[in-house]
Amino acid sequence: MRITVIGTGYLGAVHAACMADIGHEVLGVDVDEAKIAALAEGRPPFFEPGLPDLLARTHERGNLRFGTSLQEAAEFGDVHFVCVGTPQRKGSYAADLKYVDAVVEGLARHLDRPSLIVGKSTVPVGTAARLAARIAELAPQAELAWNPEFLREGTAVLDTLEPDRLVVGVQSAHAADVLRSLYGRMVEAGTPFLVTDMATAELVKVAANSFLATKISFINAMAEVCEATGADVVPLAQAIGMDARIGPKFLAAGLGFGGGCLPKDIRAFIARAGELGVDQAVSFLREVDEINLRRRARTVELGLDLIDGSYRGTRIAVLGAAFKPNSDDIRDSPALDVAASIGRRGGDVVVYDPQALDNARRAHPELAYVNSLDEALTGADVTMVLTEWDEFQDMDPVAVGEQVAQRNMVDGRNILDPVAWRKAGWRYRALGRP
């Protein structure tokens, strides 16, 4: 098929490359000319494992190109995917839909033949119905469908090429048939293909993210209880995760979640529920959010416990800036939040991350950054592991002990062996562990 992907951020760039990889003719569109130029040269403007190889392969094949014109997109494509961001609106919990609105409005004005617009951006329920009405006014031959994304940064390519489900919210059997054909390779491989109305499709993504956020915050709430009682949250999580009704995934207690999806999606869900008059149904999500933020403050406190109550005049090695490993995304990063908080308390903070340093520098220029783990560790009074990169998990406590000024460790992700580190002479603190 001839498809366009409008918006080439994490979602759009990966979706465009994957759709080209399975054989479609694809045009990626974005207003950011620098981003488009990089993608056209096969250089993703962010770190995502597997994406450079995918871009190189499709570039060589010649069925993926990039541009900046919505008019060109309308003339080229039969199916148009809307993949722009829906950030949290300033001063509000609600989602900012200006980018989605602008794309749909701009694209529809150029459509003069039958075509399908497919929303993939995460939006509050009811957005699709509003956009469909506007499309009917501007481009009566076009139709809207909603196809939520379920990508995880760090595994986005695999999640697109081998999804665990495909959900399409449609207004007609024709739209469902088009999308079933477009995703034919995945459907033939056994991926479940669920057809719903558009409102249900919109809710699927925010409901899934809300559930995952709740599960993470639940185990972090248990970590708070463990800290008060002397219990250990790691074997606690292991034990309850053995219950098949619960399962072990997303039961890793620690610094909590961040990124560009979970925090802003649950807040937007709270805001939309209030608009619909059902805010009590999701009122628990406020506590989910608050539990998550409390873990950041608690991590700062753990460091203070190791240096007699003041960061002033101490060197703090912060290992991690990205909100998760295998990503350079620092949006709502718990690691950077903790680092900035310590810096405001007078600590000499030195940050190292394998991929996210450039983004971190732009967001927090007041912090110091180094380009290697060794540089970060040298002379540190407190070492904090705040993103669970393998490089940090594989550290040798004996060797690292020779580099630092004081053997004080805050394991914000519970990825280190406390027995081994304490045996090597470290004072070890972690969230939810004795």
pLDDT of residue 414: 97
* Catalytic residue flag (residue 83): no
Residue type for position 22: I
Give the count of beta carbons closer than 10 Å to the beta carbon of residue 419.
9
pLDDT of residue 311: 97
The H or E element containing residue 17 is helix 10-21
- Please, which residues bridge with residue 349 across strands? 316
| Segment 161-174, tens digit of pLDDT | 999 999 999 999 99
CATH architecture of 2-196: 3-Layer(aba) Sandwich (3.40)
Cβ pair 339, 385 in contact under 8 A:
no
Give the count of beta carbons closer than 10 Å to the beta carbon of residue 247.
12
Domain 2-196 matches domain 198-434 at the CATH topology level: yes
CATH class of 198-434: alpha beta
Which ranges of 253-333 does DSSP label H, i.e. alpha helix? 262-276, 284-306
| Segment 48-96, tens digit of pLDDT | 999 999 999 998 899 999 999 999 999 999 999 999 999 999 999 999 9
Give whole-number Cα distances, 97 to 90, 129, 130, 380, in Å.
12, 14, 12, 44
Cβ pair 260, 276 in contact under 8 A:
no
Helix (H, G, I), strand (E, B) or coil at 84: coil
| Segment 18-37, tens digit of pLDDT | 999 999 999 999 999 999 99
Residue linked to tokens 């409102």: 199
Rounded CA separation 153/404 (Å) = 32
- Cα Rg of the chain, angstroms: 23
Residues of the chain where predicted confidence (pLDDT) is lower than 50: none
pLDDT of residue 155: 95
256: left (phi over 0), alpha (psi -120 to 50) or beta: left
Crossing angle for the helix pair 233-241 and 198-229, to the nearest 10 degrees: 140
**E-assigned strand segments in 22-173:** 25-29, 64-67, 79-82, 115-119, 142-146, 166-169
pLDDT of residue 132: 98
The whole-angstrom distance between residue 252's C-alpha and the CA centroid of its chain comes to 17
Cβ pair 64, 28 in contact under 8 A:
yes
List the catalytic residue out of 18, 83, 226, 261: 261
Instruction: Read off the pTM.
Output: 0.93
Annotated domain spans of the chain: 2-196, 198-434
